[in-house]
Chain A
Amino acid sequence: MTENIQVQALQPVEGVAVTPESVTSPARQAWRRFRRHHMALFGIFLLALILGLVVFAPRVTPYEPNALDLKSRLQPPSREHWMGTDELGRDVFTRILYGGRISLLIGVAAMSVSVTVGTVIGALSGYFGGRVDSLIMRIVDVVISFPSLFLLIMIASFAGSSIPTIILVIGLLSWMRVSRLVRASFLTIKEREYVAASIALGANGWQLVLRHLLPNSLGPISVAATIDVSAAILTESALSYLGLGIQPPQATWGNMLRFAQDQMSTAPWTAIFPGLMIFLVSIAINFIGDGLRDAFDPRQR
């Protein structure tokens, strides 16, 4: 009897053509939707271009990022110096490429911290529910009600501004969005039939989390992760601009802007290009994030 039903369930319904197209996996459907998102594709192209330039900086530019050339200070953009030179005669384009390494590194590393912390906290909250959940969400409320830039400035001014410190501080202050998303996702998935079936078959907590809850939450996590990268890059640049982030001579896009401010009326190029890079990277990542959101949750539009 049971066999019979299974066989029937596998029969194609009359009038509905079962082509390979219509039985694609959710991941493939998501990829198809993502491919149609022109802004996201443009974002990937832009990001790949910038990433390539930054990674292969030594081959792209003949200059050293910290090489002084006091004879050619504050030169406007030219064939020799595509983005001009700064107050110490350093090539702005070169500094942007090398500074980009730091800015992108901080963005990705801070995102890893925030996604890890956020996933663990959100998973605990969503998996256990009840009292644990309300306690954790109260804590999230506390952290969220801080204007985070104020706290960052305070911590950075005291704890110093080495690259690992900045990464940790930014990451540890931005896990709240991920944790809320993971919690919400866990709470919904927990109610699904296949989870109930899995429990009935004797799956333990770890198996549930690793098999069902976490893999099915990867969509929202990846969206939040991309947004976190661009947020972290913006935050680092703001901190460095305020003089509390990465210190010179190490170039980052933020601290280049800080020193450009003093001469921006006479040498605007020193201020235009670093900020333009922050903007381009940030908008590229946000486009990608938007594409991912559409791909994983088409109803949201």
Chain B
Amino acid sequence: MWTYIVRRLVITIPLLIAVSFVSFAIMQSVPGGPMAVYRNNPNVRAEDLARLEKQLGLDKPMSVQYAIWLRNFVTGNWGQSLASGRQVTEMIFERLGNTFYLMGTAFVITLIVAIPIGIQSAIRQYSFFDHLATLFSFIGFSVPIFWLGLMAIILFAVKLDWLPAGGMRTIDAPFSISDRLRYLVLPASLMAFHSAGQYSRYVRVSMLEVVRQDYIIAARAKGLIERMVIIKHALRNALIPLITVVALDLPALFSGALLVETVFAWPGMGRLFWNSALRFDYPVLMGTIILSAVLVILFNLLADVLYVVADPRVRLIRERG
């Protein structure tokens, strides 16, 4: 197991270098270069611009710049924000927790909703319930999540005045769980609605597959009640493919989080990224992109490991392909 993990991590390094190089190349190929935002500003004099470029190393060839950037990045020096002058690492890591808090809650809600719906759909295949669940899952992944957010704000915050329209907590109020929850419930349940549709479909398909297996027939034959057959025997195996689905879905989750954070003014990483894009703040953009790629790759590795733990039939050697 450990050798597998180490080997996977070693494969990951060239992957990350490729990811960072592509991002770096995109930044550099911007018309006007990374300094475009200053160049277009009539208040910035040409000599100041040259000094700034020299200071940031932008007068060197791109490969050299990339090497310098990579060395700094690995040693934890991710540069300073062009907009605020603060350390990029500091800015990102104070936001990262908020994003995880939102995504984690959404993920838990997703599972709580999607798994029972998926099971019911599979047990009562082609029933009214199954068709209804299908319809909801289609609505879930066809609806633009930011629009749904706006609609929820109109309904719950403006018309009914039940919940706050945005933010993460009441400013200047002492910490209280109920206050936090009031801010969390709308964004988290919207994200969950978006993914629960898909997850319940996967649970349904994989459940239908498992129920046809011989050992399920055997479990029924030995006289177990149907409920036990489903919960103890079928469900365990039906949920294993979900691990892969979650891992593959993670980039999409990050994208969804960005939109939800923007709609609900949630102080997370996605909102930071968006604000930085509007200001051409490229050190922050680079840091966020690479960090999210690292997270996606690490979670994929974690998923592969979990998969093996959950399903002893899978041998790691086969996974190399």
B147 and A279 contacting across the interface, CB-CB below 8 Å: yes
B321 touches A242 (CB 8 A): no
A206 within 8 A of B: no
CA distance A227 to B151 in the complex (A): 25
Q: How far is the CA of A154 from the CA of B258 in the complex (A)?
A: 13
- Residues in chain B within 8 A of chain A (CB atoms): 15, 18-19, 22-23, 26-27, 30-31, 36, 138-139, 141-144, 146-148, 150-151, 153-154, 158, 248, 251-252, 254-255, 258-259, 262, 270, 273-274, 277-278, 280, 285, 288-289, 292-293, 296-297, 300, 321
> Contact between B255 and A147 (Cβ–Cβ < 8 Å)?
yes
Secondary structure dominating the interface of B: helix
Shortest beta-carbon distance, B207 to chain A, in Å? Answer: 13
CB<8 Å pairs between A and B, sample of 11: A145-B297, A149-B259, A150-B254, A150-B288, A154-B26, A157-B277, A234-B144, A241-B147, A268-B154, A275-B151, A283-B143
Q: Which of A107-161 contact B (CB under 8 A)?
A: 134, 138, 141-142, 144-151, 153-159
- In the bound complex, do residue A158 and residue B262 qualify as a contact, i.e. CB atoms below 8 Å apart? no
Cα A134 to Cα B30 in complex, Å, equals 32
Contact A238-B15, Cβ < 8 Å, known A147-B251, A149-B258, A264-B158: no
Count: A-B pairs, CB below 8 Å? 133
**A282-B277 contact, Cβ under 8 Å, with A145-B15, A147-B251:** no
Quick one: closest A residue to B299, CB to CB?
A145
The residue that B150 contacts in the complex, of A134, A151, A264, with Cβ under 8 A, is A264
The reply on A257 being an interface residue by CB < 8 A is yes
Chain A residues in 8 Å Cβ range of B142: 230, 279, 282-283, 286
Find out whether the CB atom of A147 lies under 8 angstroms from the CB atom of B141.
Answer: no
Q: In the complex, what distance in Å separates the CA atom of A151 from the CA atom of B248?
A: 17
State whether A243 touches B144 (Cβ < 8 A).
no
The contact of A146 among B36, B150, B251, B280, by CB within 8 Å, is: B251
Contact of A287 among B138, B147, B254 (CB under 8 A): B138
The answer to whether the Cβ of A223 comes within 8 Å of any Cβ in the partner chain is: no
Which residue in B31, B150, B277 is a CB contact (below 8 Å) of A244?
B277
Further contacts, 12 of them, CB under 8 A, given A272-B154, A279-B139: A141-B15, A145-B251, A149-B258, A150-B292, A155-B26, A158-B26, A158-B27, A238-B146, A274-B147, A278-B144, A283-B143, A286-B141
A6 within 8 A of B: no
Q: Which residues of A contact B280 (CB under 8 A)?
A: 157-158
CB distance from B131 to the nearest CB of A (A): 9
Cα A36 to Cα B255 in complex, Å, equals 35
Q: How large is the interface on A (under 10, 10 to 19, 20 to 34, 35 or more residues)?
A: 35 or more
A271: interface (CB < 8 Å): yes
Q: Which residues of A contact B139 (CB under 8 A)?
A: 279, 283
Complex CA gap A238/B256 in Å reads 10
Instruction: State how many angstroms separate the Cβ of B215 from the closest Cβ of chain A.
Output: 22
A236 to chain B, nearest CB (A): 10
Query: Smallest distance from the beta carbon of A93 to chain B beta carbons, Å?
Result: 17
Q: Are B147 and A242 in contact (CB under 8 A)?
A: no
Q: Taking the complex as formed, is A265 at the interface, i.e. its CB lies under 8 A from any CB of chain B?
A: yes
Would you give the shortest CB distance from A238 to chain B, in whole angstroms? 6
Residue numbers in A under 8 Å from B18 (CB-CB) = 142
Bound-complex Cα distance A156 to B143 (A): 23
- In the complex with contacts A145-B293, A157-B278, A158-B30, A257-B147 CB distance below 8 A: yes
Are B144 and A147 neighbours in the complex by a CB distance under 8 Å?
no
- A264 and B296 contacting across the interface, CB-CB below 8 Å: no
Complex contact A150–B273 (CB within 8 A): yes
State the Cβ distance, B125 to closest chain A Cβ, in Å: 9
